[in-house]
A and B are shown apart, each in its own frame.
Chain A
Amino acid sequence: MKTNRYITISTLTRYLKDKFTKDENLQNIYLKGEISNFKSHSSGHYYFSLKDDFSKINAIMFNSYNKKLNFTPKEGMKVLVCGRINIYEPTGNYQIYVEEMQEDGIGNLYIEFEKLKEKLSKEGYFDDSHKKQIPKFPKRIGIVSSDTGAAIKDIITTIKRRYPICEIILFPSLVQGDEAKYDIVKNIEKAKDYNIDTLIVGRGGGSIEDLWPFNEEIVAKAIYDCDIPIISAVGHEIDFTISDFVADLRAATPTAAAEIAVPNILDVSNYLAQINIRVNESMYQKINYNYLLLDSFKNSYIIKNPLFLYENKKIKLDNLNEKLNSIIKNNLNDVNNNLNNLIEKLNLLNPLNILDRGYSITYFNDKILSDALKVKENDEIKIVLKNGKITSKIEKVEL
Protein backbone atom coordinates (compact mmCIF):
# COMPACT_ATOMS: atom_id res chain seq x y z
CA MET A 1 0.00 0.00 0.00
CA LYS A 2 1.42 3.32 -1.04
CA THR A 3 0.97 5.60 1.93
CA ASN A 4 1.93 8.69 0.01
CA ARG A 5 -1.46 8.47 -1.79
CA TYR A 6 -3.16 9.49 1.44
CA ILE A 7 -3.53 13.13 2.33
CA THR A 8 -4.53 14.77 5.62
CA ILE A 9 -7.93 16.28 6.32
CA SER A 10 -6.29 19.68 6.63
CA THR A 11 -4.80 19.33 3.17
CA LEU A 12 -8.17 18.37 1.73
CA THR A 13 -9.88 21.22 3.49
CA ARG A 14 -7.28 23.69 2.30
CA TYR A 15 -7.64 22.33 -1.22
CA LEU A 16 -11.40 22.80 -1.14
CA LYS A 17 -11.05 26.21 0.43
CA ASP A 18 -8.78 27.15 -2.44
CA LYS A 19 -11.43 25.98 -4.92
CA PHE A 20 -14.05 28.13 -3.20
CA THR A 21 -11.75 31.11 -3.14
CA LYS A 22 -10.92 30.87 -6.82
CA ASP A 23 -14.59 30.57 -7.86
CA GLU A 24 -15.70 34.08 -8.72
CA ASN A 25 -19.40 33.21 -8.42
CA LEU A 26 -18.92 32.02 -4.87
CA GLN A 27 -16.86 35.06 -3.94
CA ASN A 28 -19.59 37.47 -4.86
CA ILE A 29 -22.94 35.83 -4.30
CA TYR A 30 -26.45 37.14 -3.74
CA LEU A 31 -28.79 34.96 -1.67
CA LYS A 32 -32.31 35.16 -0.37
CA GLY A 33 -33.69 33.17 2.53
CA GLU A 34 -35.16 33.14 6.01
CA ILE A 35 -33.10 33.74 9.15
CA SER A 36 -33.07 30.96 11.69
CA ASN A 37 -31.09 30.10 14.83
CA PHE A 38 -30.05 33.71 15.06
CA LYS A 39 -27.43 34.46 17.71
CA SER A 40 -25.75 37.76 18.46
CA HIS A 41 -22.42 36.82 20.04
CA SER A 42 -20.86 38.95 22.76
CA SER A 43 -18.07 39.75 20.32
CA GLY A 44 -20.70 41.53 18.25
CA HIS A 45 -20.67 39.04 15.39
CA TYR A 46 -23.97 37.53 14.20
CA TYR A 47 -24.22 33.77 13.74
CA PHE A 48 -27.31 32.34 12.03
CA SER A 49 -28.64 30.11 9.30
CA LEU A 50 -30.35 31.03 6.08
CA LYS A 51 -32.91 28.62 4.78
CA ASP A 52 -35.67 27.99 2.33
CA ASP A 53 -38.07 25.07 2.18
CA PHE A 54 -35.43 22.57 1.11
CA SER A 55 -31.99 23.78 2.11
CA LYS A 56 -30.05 25.58 4.71
CA ILE A 57 -26.68 27.32 4.93
CA ASN A 58 -24.78 28.58 7.97
CA ALA A 59 -24.04 32.25 7.95
CA ILE A 60 -21.80 34.65 9.81
CA MET A 61 -21.88 38.41 9.71
CA PHE A 62 -18.94 40.11 11.41
CA ASN A 63 -19.65 43.13 13.51
CA SER A 64 -17.66 45.36 11.15
CA TYR A 65 -20.43 44.66 8.62
CA ASN A 66 -23.49 44.20 10.83
CA LYS A 67 -23.03 47.51 12.60
CA LYS A 68 -24.00 49.18 9.33
CA LEU A 69 -27.45 47.52 9.39
CA ASN A 70 -30.44 49.76 9.94
CA PHE A 71 -32.50 46.92 11.45
CA THR A 72 -31.99 44.10 13.91
CA PRO A 73 -32.23 40.70 12.27
CA LYS A 74 -34.82 38.44 13.89
CA GLU A 75 -35.84 34.83 13.77
CA GLY A 76 -38.03 34.05 10.78
CA MET A 77 -37.16 37.27 9.01
CA LYS A 78 -36.81 36.97 5.25
CA VAL A 79 -33.65 38.65 4.05
CA LEU A 80 -31.58 39.37 0.96
CA VAL A 81 -27.85 39.00 1.58
CA CYS A 82 -24.67 39.50 -0.31
CA GLY A 83 -21.32 37.94 0.58
CA ARG A 84 -18.84 35.18 -0.12
CA ILE A 85 -18.94 31.45 0.47
CA ASN A 86 -16.04 29.73 2.10
CA ILE A 87 -15.08 26.85 4.30
CA TYR A 88 -14.50 27.14 8.00
CA GLU A 89 -11.52 24.85 8.41
CA PRO A 90 -11.95 23.60 11.98
CA THR A 91 -15.39 22.11 11.18
CA GLY A 92 -15.11 21.69 7.44
CA ASN A 93 -18.47 23.40 7.08
CA TYR A 94 -19.00 25.78 4.26
CA GLN A 95 -20.77 28.98 5.15
CA ILE A 96 -21.59 32.37 3.82
CA TYR A 97 -19.71 35.39 5.13
CA VAL A 98 -22.42 38.03 4.86
CA GLU A 99 -21.32 41.54 4.01
CA GLU A 100 -24.64 43.17 3.24
CA MET A 101 -28.17 42.35 4.29
CA GLN A 102 -31.61 43.82 3.75
CA GLU A 103 -35.14 42.74 4.68
CA ASP A 104 -37.09 40.80 2.08
CA GLY A 105 -40.64 41.48 3.15
CA ILE A 106 -41.51 39.83 6.44
CA GLY A 107 -41.01 36.16 7.17
CA ASN A 108 -44.02 33.85 6.90
CA LEU A 109 -43.89 32.80 10.54
CA TYR A 110 -43.78 36.42 11.57
CA ILE A 111 -46.88 37.15 9.49
CA GLU A 112 -48.64 34.15 10.97
CA PHE A 113 -47.70 35.30 14.47
CA GLU A 114 -49.02 38.81 13.89
CA LYS A 115 -52.27 37.46 12.39
CA LEU A 116 -52.98 35.16 15.32
CA LYS A 117 -51.99 37.85 17.79
CA GLU A 118 -54.44 40.27 16.26
CA LYS A 119 -57.22 37.70 16.08
CA LEU A 120 -56.86 36.59 19.70
CA SER A 121 -56.50 40.16 20.85
CA LYS A 122 -59.81 41.02 19.18
CA GLU A 123 -61.43 37.98 20.78
CA GLY A 124 -60.36 39.25 24.21
CA TYR A 125 -57.76 36.60 24.96
CA PHE A 126 -55.27 39.18 26.19
CA ASP A 127 -57.68 41.25 28.25
CA ASP A 128 -56.35 42.36 31.61
CA SER A 129 -59.78 41.74 33.13
CA HIS A 130 -59.37 38.02 32.49
CA LYS A 131 -55.95 37.82 34.07
CA LYS A 132 -55.76 36.06 37.40
CA GLN A 133 -53.74 37.17 40.40
CA ILE A 134 -50.59 35.11 40.98
CA PRO A 135 -50.72 33.73 44.56
CA LYS A 136 -48.08 35.33 46.76
CA PHE A 137 -47.36 32.30 48.93
CA PRO A 138 -47.99 29.18 46.84
CA LYS A 139 -47.83 25.77 48.43
CA ARG A 140 -47.55 23.87 45.18
CA ILE A 141 -46.08 25.03 41.90
CA GLY A 142 -46.73 23.11 38.70
CA ILE A 143 -44.37 23.23 35.75
CA VAL A 144 -45.34 22.31 32.21
CA SER A 145 -42.02 22.00 30.39
CA SER A 146 -39.43 19.53 29.25
CA ASP A 147 -38.05 17.41 32.10
CA THR A 148 -34.57 17.85 30.70
CA GLY A 149 -32.59 20.92 29.83
CA ALA A 150 -31.60 24.18 31.41
CA ALA A 151 -35.09 25.65 31.79
CA ILE A 152 -36.45 23.06 34.24
CA LYS A 153 -33.17 23.06 36.13
CA ASP A 154 -33.23 26.84 36.45
CA ILE A 155 -36.83 26.86 37.64
CA ILE A 156 -36.39 24.11 40.23
CA THR A 157 -33.12 25.47 41.65
CA THR A 158 -34.51 28.98 41.85
CA ILE A 159 -37.68 27.88 43.64
CA LYS A 160 -35.75 25.69 46.06
CA ARG A 161 -33.32 28.48 46.83
CA ARG A 162 -35.97 31.12 47.39
CA TYR A 163 -38.85 29.21 48.94
CA PRO A 164 -37.90 25.66 49.91
CA ILE A 165 -41.24 25.04 51.63
CA CYS A 166 -42.95 24.99 48.25
CA GLU A 167 -43.75 21.72 46.52
CA ILE A 168 -42.92 21.34 42.84
CA ILE A 169 -44.89 19.12 40.48
CA LEU A 170 -43.46 18.69 37.01
CA PHE A 171 -45.67 17.85 34.06
CA PRO A 172 -43.09 16.66 31.53
CA SER A 173 -44.02 17.89 28.10
CA LEU A 174 -42.69 18.08 24.59
CA VAL A 175 -41.82 21.70 23.95
CA GLN A 176 -40.77 21.65 20.32
CA GLY A 177 -41.82 19.90 17.15
CA ASP A 178 -45.23 19.35 15.62
CA GLU A 179 -46.60 17.24 18.48
CA ALA A 180 -45.55 19.66 21.20
CA LYS A 181 -48.70 21.81 21.07
CA TYR A 182 -50.95 18.82 21.82
CA ASP A 183 -48.68 17.69 24.62
CA ILE A 184 -48.59 21.16 26.18
CA VAL A 185 -52.39 21.44 26.03
CA LYS A 186 -52.81 17.96 27.54
CA ASN A 187 -50.48 18.81 30.42
CA ILE A 188 -52.09 22.17 31.18
CA GLU A 189 -55.42 20.36 31.43
CA LYS A 190 -53.91 17.59 33.54
CA ALA A 191 -52.54 20.14 36.02
CA LYS A 192 -56.10 21.00 37.08
CA ASP A 193 -56.30 17.70 39.00
CA TYR A 194 -53.22 18.26 41.12
CA ASN A 195 -54.22 21.11 43.41
CA ILE A 196 -51.68 23.48 41.88
CA ASP A 197 -51.50 27.10 43.09
CA THR A 198 -49.47 28.49 40.21
CA LEU A 199 -48.52 26.90 36.90
CA ILE A 200 -45.36 27.80 35.01
CA VAL A 201 -45.58 26.99 31.30
CA GLY A 202 -42.53 27.39 29.14
CA ARG A 203 -39.15 26.31 27.83
CA GLY A 204 -35.64 27.61 27.34
CA GLY A 205 -34.34 29.60 24.42
CA GLY A 206 -34.31 28.39 20.82
CA SER A 207 -35.05 29.36 17.26
CA ILE A 208 -38.42 30.77 16.30
CA GLU A 209 -39.37 27.30 15.04
CA ASP A 210 -38.35 25.79 18.37
CA LEU A 211 -40.56 28.23 20.27
CA TRP A 212 -43.41 27.89 17.78
CA PRO A 213 -45.66 25.56 19.84
CA PHE A 214 -46.14 28.51 22.19
CA ASN A 215 -47.51 30.50 19.28
CA GLU A 216 -50.21 27.95 18.51
CA GLU A 217 -53.85 28.84 18.93
CA ILE A 218 -54.81 25.67 20.86
CA VAL A 219 -52.04 26.36 23.40
CA ALA A 220 -53.26 29.94 23.76
CA LYS A 221 -56.82 28.70 24.35
CA ALA A 222 -55.71 26.09 26.89
CA ILE A 223 -53.88 28.79 28.83
CA TYR A 224 -56.90 31.09 28.62
CA ASP A 225 -59.29 28.38 29.81
CA CYS A 226 -57.12 27.16 32.67
CA ASP A 227 -58.41 28.07 36.15
CA ILE A 228 -54.93 27.99 37.64
CA PRO A 229 -52.95 31.25 37.40
CA ILE A 230 -50.31 30.73 34.70
CA ILE A 231 -46.89 32.31 34.32
CA SER A 232 -45.43 31.91 30.84
CA ALA A 233 -41.68 31.65 30.46
CA VAL A 234 -40.70 31.01 26.88
CA GLY A 235 -37.15 31.49 25.64
CA HIS A 236 -35.17 34.60 26.40
CA GLU A 237 -35.89 38.19 27.29
CA ILE A 238 -36.36 39.21 23.64
CA ASP A 239 -38.68 36.35 22.68
CA PHE A 240 -42.36 37.14 22.80
CA THR A 241 -44.88 34.41 22.08
CA ILE A 242 -48.67 34.30 21.93
CA SER A 243 -48.58 32.30 25.19
CA ASP A 244 -46.89 35.28 26.84
CA PHE A 245 -49.79 37.52 25.89
CA VAL A 246 -52.49 35.10 27.06
CA ALA A 247 -50.82 34.03 30.28
CA ASP A 248 -51.73 35.78 33.52
CA LEU A 249 -48.14 36.93 33.74
CA ARG A 250 -45.16 36.81 31.36
CA ALA A 251 -41.71 36.11 32.71
CA ALA A 252 -38.68 37.05 30.61
CA THR A 253 -36.94 33.74 31.32
CA PRO A 254 -37.65 30.48 33.16
CA THR A 255 -35.51 31.71 36.08
CA ALA A 256 -37.51 34.92 36.19
CA ALA A 257 -40.71 32.85 36.21
CA ALA A 258 -39.53 31.02 39.32
CA GLU A 259 -38.63 34.31 40.95
CA ILE A 260 -42.10 35.68 40.29
CA ALA A 261 -43.83 32.46 41.32
CA VAL A 262 -42.44 32.29 44.85
CA PRO A 263 -41.35 34.89 47.39
CA ASN A 264 -37.97 34.82 49.05
CA ILE A 265 -38.52 33.01 52.33
CA LEU A 266 -36.19 35.44 54.12
CA ASP A 267 -38.31 38.37 52.97
CA VAL A 268 -41.43 36.62 54.25
CA SER A 269 -39.76 35.91 57.60
CA ASN A 270 -38.66 39.52 57.87
CA TYR A 271 -42.10 40.76 56.97
CA LEU A 272 -43.64 38.52 59.61
CA ALA A 273 -41.12 39.78 62.17
CA GLN A 274 -42.04 43.33 61.21
CA ILE A 275 -45.73 42.60 61.71
CA ASN A 276 -44.87 41.10 65.07
CA ILE A 277 -43.06 44.29 66.09
CA ARG A 278 -45.87 46.49 64.84
CA VAL A 279 -48.53 44.47 66.67
CA ASN A 280 -46.57 44.62 69.91
CA GLU A 281 -45.70 48.28 69.49
CA SER A 282 -49.29 49.33 68.82
CA MET A 283 -50.56 47.18 71.68
CA TYR A 284 -47.97 48.72 74.00
CA GLN A 285 -49.06 52.17 72.93
CA LYS A 286 -52.68 51.27 73.43
CA ILE A 287 -52.01 50.09 76.99
CA ASN A 288 -49.73 53.03 77.69
CA TYR A 289 -52.38 55.42 76.46
CA ASN A 290 -54.86 53.87 78.84
CA TYR A 291 -52.39 54.20 81.71
CA LEU A 292 -51.92 57.85 80.88
CA LEU A 293 -55.64 58.29 80.70
CA LEU A 294 -55.99 56.66 84.10
CA ASP A 295 -53.21 58.88 85.46
CA SER A 296 -54.88 61.96 84.13
CA PHE A 297 -58.05 60.93 85.96
CA LYS A 298 -56.14 60.25 89.12
CA ASN A 299 -54.47 63.65 88.96
CA SER A 300 -57.60 65.52 88.06
CA TYR A 301 -58.64 68.36 90.46
CA ILE A 302 -61.86 66.68 91.43
CA ILE A 303 -60.27 63.37 92.37
CA LYS A 304 -57.54 65.13 94.31
CA ASN A 305 -59.97 67.59 95.95
CA PRO A 306 -63.16 65.66 96.35
CA LEU A 307 -64.52 68.31 98.76
CA PHE A 308 -64.70 70.61 95.82
CA LEU A 309 -67.64 68.55 94.68
CA TYR A 310 -69.46 69.63 97.92
CA GLU A 311 -68.30 73.20 97.99
CA ASN A 312 -70.92 74.51 95.67
CA LYS A 313 -73.60 72.49 97.33
CA LYS A 314 -72.43 73.75 100.67
CA ILE A 315 -72.75 77.31 99.53
CA LYS A 316 -76.16 76.57 98.20
CA LEU A 317 -77.08 74.94 101.47
CA ASP A 318 -75.87 77.98 103.39
CA ASN A 319 -77.91 80.22 101.18
CA LEU A 320 -80.95 78.11 101.67
CA ASN A 321 -80.35 78.05 105.36
CA GLU A 322 -80.14 81.78 105.47
CA LYS A 323 -83.24 82.11 103.43
CA LEU A 324 -85.08 79.70 105.65
CA ASN A 325 -83.94 81.56 108.72
CA SER A 326 -85.11 84.82 107.38
CA ILE A 327 -88.43 83.34 106.42
CA ILE A 328 -88.87 81.81 109.83
CA LYS A 329 -87.85 85.05 111.43
CA ASN A 330 -90.33 86.98 109.39
CA ASN A 331 -93.01 84.49 110.20
CA LEU A 332 -92.17 84.66 113.86
CA ASN A 333 -92.45 88.42 113.77
CA ASP A 334 -95.82 88.13 112.17
CA VAL A 335 -96.88 85.59 114.75
CA ASN A 336 -95.60 87.88 117.50
CA ASN A 337 -97.51 90.78 116.14
CA ASN A 338 -100.64 88.73 115.89
CA LEU A 339 -100.09 87.46 119.34
CA ASN A 340 -99.72 90.96 120.71
CA ASN A 341 -102.88 91.97 118.99
CA LEU A 342 -104.59 88.97 120.42
CA ILE A 343 -103.28 89.72 123.86
CA GLU A 344 -104.59 93.18 123.55
CA LYS A 345 -107.92 91.86 122.44
CA LEU A 346 -107.85 89.30 125.18
CA ASN A 347 -107.06 91.96 127.66
CA LEU A 348 -110.12 93.76 126.57
CA LEU A 349 -112.16 90.61 127.08
CA ASN A 350 -110.46 89.42 130.28
CA PRO A 351 -113.20 88.56 132.77
CA LEU A 352 -111.00 89.74 135.55
CA ASN A 353 -111.29 93.14 134.07
CA ILE A 354 -115.05 92.72 134.26
CA LEU A 355 -114.71 91.84 137.97
CA ASP A 356 -112.87 95.10 138.29
CA ARG A 357 -116.01 96.79 137.13
CA GLY A 358 -118.05 95.12 139.95
CA TYR A 359 -119.32 91.98 138.19
CA SER A 360 -118.85 88.53 139.84
CA ILE A 361 -118.72 84.93 138.62
CA THR A 362 -120.77 82.17 140.20
CA TYR A 363 -119.48 78.61 140.18
CA PHE A 364 -121.46 75.54 140.96
CA ASN A 365 -119.59 72.29 141.20
CA ASP A 366 -116.52 74.18 139.88
CA LYS A 367 -118.41 75.18 136.76
CA ILE A 368 -119.55 78.60 135.87
CA LEU A 369 -123.19 78.88 136.63
CA SER A 370 -125.26 80.77 134.16
CA ASP A 371 -128.54 78.88 134.35
CA ALA A 372 -130.70 79.29 137.43
CA LEU A 373 -132.41 76.00 136.75
CA LYS A 374 -129.23 74.09 137.41
CA VAL A 375 -129.33 74.80 141.09
CA LYS A 376 -131.89 74.45 143.88
CA GLU A 377 -132.27 75.42 147.43
CA ASN A 378 -129.41 74.63 149.80
CA ASP A 379 -126.91 73.99 146.93
CA GLU A 380 -123.57 75.38 147.72
CA ILE A 381 -122.16 77.86 145.22
CA LYS A 382 -118.97 79.84 145.00
CA ILE A 383 -118.86 83.42 143.98
CA VAL A 384 -115.65 84.93 142.70
CA LEU A 385 -115.24 88.61 143.13
CA LYS A 386 -112.52 91.03 142.17
CA ASN A 387 -110.44 90.38 145.28
CA GLY A 388 -111.77 87.08 146.74
CA LYS A 389 -114.21 84.19 146.87
CA ILE A 390 -117.45 83.78 148.71
CA THR A 391 -118.96 80.39 149.46
CA SER A 392 -122.73 80.60 150.02
CA LYS A 393 -125.92 78.53 150.19
CA ILE A 394 -128.92 79.10 147.96
CA GLU A 395 -132.03 80.07 149.89
CA LYS A 396 -134.33 80.44 146.98
CA VAL A 397 -134.39 80.03 143.23
CA GLU A 398 -136.59 82.34 141.29
CA LEU A 399 -137.22 82.45 137.63
Chain B
Amino acid sequence: MKFEDKIKELEKIVNDLESGNIDLDKAIDKYSKAMKLISECDKELKSVEEKISKIVKENGDLEDFDIEDK
Protein backbone atom coordinates (compact mmCIF):
# COMPACT_ATOMS: atom_id res chain seq x y z
CA MET B 1 0.00 0.00 0.00
CA LYS B 2 1.38 3.43 -0.96
CA PHE B 3 1.98 6.04 1.69
CA GLU B 4 -0.59 8.27 0.05
CA ASP B 5 -3.22 5.53 0.17
CA LYS B 6 -2.44 4.86 3.80
CA ILE B 7 -3.00 8.52 4.65
CA LYS B 8 -6.26 8.48 2.67
CA GLU B 9 -7.42 5.36 4.52
CA LEU B 10 -6.52 6.98 7.84
CA GLU B 11 -8.50 10.09 6.95
CA LYS B 12 -11.49 7.93 6.10
CA ILE B 13 -11.26 6.03 9.38
CA VAL B 14 -11.00 9.26 11.38
CA ASN B 15 -14.08 10.63 9.64
CA ASP B 16 -15.98 7.39 10.25
CA LEU B 17 -15.03 7.32 13.91
CA GLU B 18 -15.79 10.98 14.41
CA SER B 19 -19.17 10.70 12.71
CA GLY B 20 -20.20 8.54 15.68
CA ASN B 21 -22.79 6.42 13.90
CA ILE B 22 -20.80 3.25 13.83
CA ASP B 23 -21.07 0.10 15.93
CA LEU B 24 -18.66 -0.30 18.81
CA ASP B 25 -17.38 -3.58 17.36
CA LYS B 26 -16.68 -1.97 14.00
CA ALA B 27 -15.18 1.05 15.69
CA ILE B 28 -12.74 -1.16 17.53
CA ASP B 29 -11.76 -2.90 14.28
CA LYS B 30 -11.20 0.43 12.60
CA TYR B 31 -9.28 1.73 15.57
CA SER B 32 -6.86 -1.20 15.46
CA LYS B 33 -6.42 -0.73 11.73
CA ALA B 34 -5.71 2.99 12.21
CA MET B 35 -3.10 2.25 14.87
CA LYS B 36 -1.41 -0.20 12.50
CA LEU B 37 -1.39 2.28 9.61
CA ILE B 38 -0.10 5.11 11.80
CA SER B 39 2.79 3.02 13.02
CA GLU B 40 3.63 1.98 9.44
CA CYS B 41 3.57 5.58 8.20
CA ASP B 42 5.61 6.68 11.17
CA LYS B 43 8.19 4.07 10.35
CA GLU B 44 8.41 5.25 6.76
CA LEU B 45 8.85 8.86 7.83
CA LYS B 46 11.52 7.97 10.34
CA SER B 47 13.45 5.75 7.98
CA VAL B 48 17.02 6.62 8.82
CA GLU B 49 18.38 5.48 5.50
CA GLU B 50 19.61 8.56 3.66
CA LYS B 51 18.45 8.42 0.06
CA ILE B 52 21.31 9.01 -2.31
CA SER B 53 20.59 10.93 -5.48
CA LYS B 54 21.28 8.96 -8.64
CA ILE B 55 22.12 10.00 -12.12
CA VAL B 56 21.07 8.07 -15.19
CA LYS B 57 24.02 7.40 -17.46
CA GLU B 58 23.88 7.31 -21.23
CA ASN B 59 23.52 3.49 -21.20
CA GLY B 60 20.63 3.71 -18.72
CA ASP B 61 22.61 2.60 -15.66
CA LEU B 62 22.23 4.45 -12.37
CA GLU B 63 25.19 5.99 -10.63
CA ASP B 64 25.44 7.92 -7.33
CA PHE B 65 25.28 11.64 -7.85
CA ASP B 66 26.75 14.18 -5.47
CA ILE B 67 25.71 17.71 -6.20
CA GLU B 68 28.67 19.07 -4.21
CA ASP B 69 31.06 17.72 -6.86
CA LYS B 70 29.58 19.98 -9.49
Contact = CB atoms under 8 A, between A and B. Distances in A.
B55 A283 contact: no
Contact of B54 (A136, A139, A169, A193): A169
Interface residues of B, number: 35
B17 A283 contact: yes
A346 interface: no
Nearest to A293: B24
Given A169-B54, A286-B20, A286-B24, A139 B3 contact: yes
The winner among A135, A152, A282 for most chain B CB atoms within 10 A is: A282
Interface size class of A (residues with CB under 8 A): 35 or more
B51 A168 contact: yes
A279 B17 contact: yes
Contact of B38 (A164, A168, A272): A272
B49 to A, nearest CB: 8
Given A147-B65, A156-B53, 8 more contacts: A149-B70, A167-B51, A169-B62, A272-B41, A279-B38, A282-B17, A282-B20, A286-B24
Nearest to B54: A169
Contact of B17 (A164, A276, A286): A286
Contact of A283 (B3, B27, B42, B67): B27
A45 to B, nearest CB: 32
Nearest to B49: A165
Contacts of A166: 51
A157 B67 contact: yes
Contacts of B20: 282, 285-286, 289
Contact of A275 (B14, B51, B67): B14
Interface in A149-168: 149, 152-153, 156-157, 164-168
A170 interface: yes
A290 interface: yes
Nearest to A265: B45
Interface in B19-52: 20, 22, 24, 27-28, 31, 34-35, 38, 41-42, 44-45, 47, 50-51
Nearest to B65: A170
A164 B50 contact: yes
Nearest to B17: A282
28 contacts: A135-B4, A136-B7, A139-B2, A147-B70, A148-B70, A164-B51, A165-B45, A165-B47, A165-B51, A167-B54, A168-B65, A169-B53, A169-B55, A170-B53, A171-B56, A172-B55, A190-B56, A269-B45, A272-B38, A272-B45, A275-B10, A275-B11, A279-B10, A279-B38, A283-B27, A285-B20, A286-B22, A290-B24
Given A152-B67, A156-B67, A165-B45, A279 B53 contact: no
